[in-house]
Structure 1
Amino acid sequence: MLARNFATVLLSLVAGSNISLAIPVIVHPTADVRGEVIAVEEKAGRTIVDVRSAIGIGRMKLSAANDQWPTTLVLRLHLRGLESLHIGNGTSSIDISILSYEPHRQLCEVVHAPGERRQSVDEESPFWMPVQIKNTKTAGQPKMPLLDGYFEVTLPAVLLKDNPQSLSIRWIDFYR
């Protein structure tokens, strides 16, 4: 009884204030999820979707909580490689890959509308998705395949500017 009263009072206080307990992004895992662990956190003004994929191939959909996307949305992919990452908003889609051989160059392509041809983009394009390769345990430059690190991908604002209903995301660590 006391716990229920406390919860009621807490919810009343939150409802009448500017405090938000909502997670800014909702994850909709697909039916074929096999060993993925997905978590959402807010840190230093960024919303981070942390994906740990046991088999290295997966997909999910994200939607905005309260119909408002976060200002900065980051994917943190714990994969051994990043041969393919596809993110689509229903109109545009972006595909990136990190070459598995030195110098691990990033490739980025965009499709501006369904049925159009892919176009390569560079760092000057608003569709460019910067990728950082980070170690979690060892010092120095990350080596591929990543054994103790992740790929951190910051989604470009242009993907979210028209407030899409959802984002479709697919990843493959290495082509098999």
Structure 2
Amino acid sequence: MIQFARTMVFASLTMLAACGTVANGNDDALQWDITLPVDGDTAEVTSNGKRAVVAIRSTRGIGRATIERRDESWPDQIVIQLHVSGLESWRVSNGTDTLHASVSSHPATPRIRSWKNDQEDVQLNTESRYWMPIKRRDSQGKQTKEIPNKQGYFEIRLPKALFEGNPPELSLHWIDFYRG
């Protein structure tokens, strides 16, 4: 099993730009600036050099984050662990392409939909190079179908196509449940 080095990255209204440096087993550094403008939201980054996991805890369930790399390139794989109770709206953008997803909150028929660049009528599937696998995980990290995701998280693997051209930053936006 690969051991990950950990660095906690916190942000609040008084500290909008939080810088995180994560060391890996080769003493190389993964350097990102992470901005979380919602008070109380946090991010923890773990990396082994080729794979990075960004665990975001959202206090309100509605939020956003910006991840700006200071390294020359992104790791081979980036996984977002979004700790929210539901995921009715997810959006990630590299400045050129925007990927969207929605996970239905009805427990009897949980359904995940995803699309690109506001073209909601053109659904992405596993054959698309922009496909983002989304899994629901419980508090132990085991896959679950439970919604709302109590004490668990949504695991979103970002597609390699999102990193073509080596964009300088990613913008993330999420809403757990739409409020009426």
Bucket of the pairwise TM-score, normalised by the shorter protein? 0.7 to 0.9
Conservation of the 8 A alpha-carbon contact between 1:24 and 1:69 = no
Between 1:149-158 and 1:63-72, the stretch displaced more is: 63-72
Per-residue CA distance 1:52-76 (angstroms, 9 max, x = gap): 1111011011122313111100100
Question: What 5-or-longer segments of structure 1 have no aligned partner?
Answer: 1-17
Question: What 5-or-longer segments of structure 2 have no aligned partner?
Answer: 1-25
Conservation of the 8 A alpha-carbon contact between 1:25 and 1:69 = no
Aligned residues: 152
Give identity over the alignment, percent: 34
Q: Which has the higher helix share?
A: 1
Instruction: Tell me what 1:15 maps to.
Output: none
Q: Which has the higher strand share?
A: 2
- Output the TM-score relative to the length of structure 1: 0.78
- Displacement of 1:165: 1.5
Aligned-pair Cα RMSD in Å? 2.1
Between 1:77-86 and 1:97-106, the stretch displaced more is: 97-106
Q: Which amino acid aligns with 1:70?
A: P
- Displacement of 1:138: 9.3
- Output the TM-score relative to the length of structure 2: 0.77
Instruction: Tell me what 1:124 maps to.
Output: 127
Larger Rg: 1
Instruction: Tell me what 2:7 maps to.
Output: none
Conservation of the 8 A alpha-carbon contact between 2:46 and 2:54 = yes
Instruction: Say which structure, 1 or 2, has more relative contact order (CA 8 Å, 6+ apart).
Output: 1
Match of 1:27 among 31, 34, 56: 34
Equivalent residue runs for 1:146-165 within 5 Å: 146-165=149-168
> 1:97 aligned to 2:102?
yes
